[in-house]
Chain A
């Protein structure tokens, strides 16, 4: 029997080559998979929930473990090695046939000749195997992995940018003014709103007692000066109502007194412009509720959906009255509907501090109300 050490050495070399190819393929898959995991982690981090770096790394480690195990288990068999050598190393089916004929076939001259032929072919095949260069094709997955790693490093180290699911479900409405308030300013606004509401409540009760005492009806109508005053007061009240409504939505803990006072004022304002004109000066009140314009517009759009058209009109007038950029031209027909709006206390707003002038106005108005009472 001819020594087949040369053939076996070729088989070992081929097996090493093929097995290495399996590992290269597994590495390629692992690189693509790692990049995919990083992209997935980034997507989850940005959209669904915060994903930790360690989670992504754990998934990648599991993937690589699986890939390497997969490659390790795919050890090329002897027929596969022989077939590969036949196809790619000039074996001309010799190695495969020799492998088959070794097992149980009689030692015929043809088999002897085959072994001679295969043995003589081994050096040439080894030379071909050495000269054979196959690209690992790892550059693209490696580049993808590097890019994804850089992106993931940036994204995953950010604080959780994804909104939490309960918050998303609980607050479907747009953010309110109060969402932008600091706790101090919110507290100050609440206190101010409470003070104004109590003052208005006392003024309203005083006016009601006066009406009862004098037997006047709201239909008697105010004088000219009163009318202009009432108009301004109604505008201020309408604006306050709009702001209060928004504030009330965003601040559900507002006291009942503060929330009930505007409703009372609105009822009385709707019945008589003169009664609304009893208020002192509404511009200072409206100034209290002044907030950044864009925020107010959004809030009003929201609040206007729930109010009748007259209120919306008064609300717009209020905006026009206290917006310095808008012209203050206003006809009598425009003012009359505004008188229907309630004179409501100036609501708390996003403005965190009052200017001395505004504070003085508010204080004076409160003192006057107290004196009238």
Chain B
């Protein structure tokens, strides 16, 4: 039986009175641990933990050397997850990601084709520089990310649970790259940008990771079962009508043609966020609520995850891009206007 199926039966059992307190404590401990390893990237760590427990995937964008791979390794180590890494190159084939059938000879002499899973069959998959893979290889990840299964030779293979894809891409050196299509971008719950750390963080980084790789020595504070349990608990977080309305308004505000959209969105946005963004906002906000020690969602939870959820789900007008406007600046004004209403 699958590990996830053992941990989460179809009808979840009522959580104990201390379930929320325990989940809150575990999330806080995890964040504190990662903050010690990944110096000066507190917001990035919070969003990454949120995405993992919300069952989403994360696209991380940042310059080389900012610790993206290090972050993925530390997260896997802290949660005790089985992780794999795929370094994308233009000659990477889909089978290199999903797996392939090989001709194998059994001990008795019988030879058969058997499926050998690829690196995607891990609980935490680090897809490094995903935009350097060809669209064919990128699309191989689509089914895995959305359906959590891989179909090969007519046979579907379930991916392990929890399952999370951390993809990274470099915003520079775009020659020879294949930008991700919108359909695949929409599969990522968050798109996180890794900022350059400040001076104090750089100084602290020397004390932490000059002579050793802290991620290699991390002791897990939780296991996959804990991840699944907390993820299930997060789905029971209460969501009031006011927050539902606010979430809907947030997504509508990004639509250039919808009634009630933001004026900045009408001026600069060509395509707004999808309904999947609405689901992502709610799921992430629920984890944020548990992380804040609440069993109900607040408007602040929605606002905290609005930007990473929406920034890769909108398309700007060409003239706005030529004017130097980016998605973050546009969404910042949209979110500000939305936040003032609540």
Contact = CB atoms under 8 A, between A and B. Distances in A.
Interface string A74-94: 000000000100100000111
B239 to A, nearest CB: 8
Interface stretch (A109-117, A189-197, A302-310, A343-351): A109-117
Nearest to B342: A87
Contacts of A92: 292, 294, 296, 298, 300
26 contacts: A83-B242, A92-B292, A92-B294, A92-B298, A93-B243, A93-B298, A94-B294, A94-B296, A97-B238, A97-B240, A97-B243, A97-B297, A98-B296, A100-B240, A100-B241, A108-B236, A109-B15, A110-B20, A110-B236, A110-B237, A110-B238, A110-B296, A112-B17, A113-B21, A113-B294, A114-B296
Nearest to B300: A92
B120 to A, nearest CB: 34
B293 interface: yes
A93 B19 contact: no
Contacts of A114: 238, 294-296
A143 interface: no
A3 to B, nearest CB: 16
A98 B237 CA distance: 12
Interface string A240-284: 000000000000000000000000000000000000000000000
Contacts of A100: 240-241
Interface residues of A, number: 18
A93 B14 contact: no
A111 B238 contact: yes
Interface in B236-274: 236-243
Contacts of A108: 14, 236
B95 to A, nearest CB: 44
Contact of A109 (B236, B241, B243, B294): B236
A101 interface: yes
B107 interface: no
Contacts of B299: 93
A110 B295 contact: yes
A92 B295 CA distance: 11
A225 B203 CA distance: 131
B294 A117 contact: yes
A96 B298 CA distance: 10
A109 B19 contact: yes
Interface of B: 14-17, 19-21, 236-243, 292-300
A114 B300 CA distance: 17
A95 B234 CA distance: 20
B248 to A, nearest CB: 15
A117 B298 contact: no
Interface string A163-184: 0000000000000000000000
A92 B292 CA distance: 11
Contacts of A110: 15, 20, 236-238, 295-296
A96 B20 contact: no
B240 A113 contact: no
Contacts of B242: 83, 86, 93, 96-97
B295 A117 contact: yes
A70 to B, nearest CB: 27
A101 B243 CA distance: 13
The 4 closest A-B pairs by CB, nearest first: A97-B240, A113-B295, A109-B15, A110-B295
Contact of A93 (B16, B17, B20, B297): B297
Contact of B20 (A86, A97, A109): A109
A86 B296 CA distance: 12
Interface string A116-133: 010000000000000000
A338 B144 CA distance: 124
A184 B21 CA distance: 106
A101 B14 contact: no
Contacts of B17: 109, 112-113
Nearest to A107: B14
Given A93-B298, A100-B241, A109-B20, A117 B236 contact: no
A100 B244 CA distance: 12
Given A109-B15, A117-B293, A117-B295, A93 B236 contact: no
Given A93-B298, A93-B299, A113 B241 contact: no
A97 B296 contact: yes
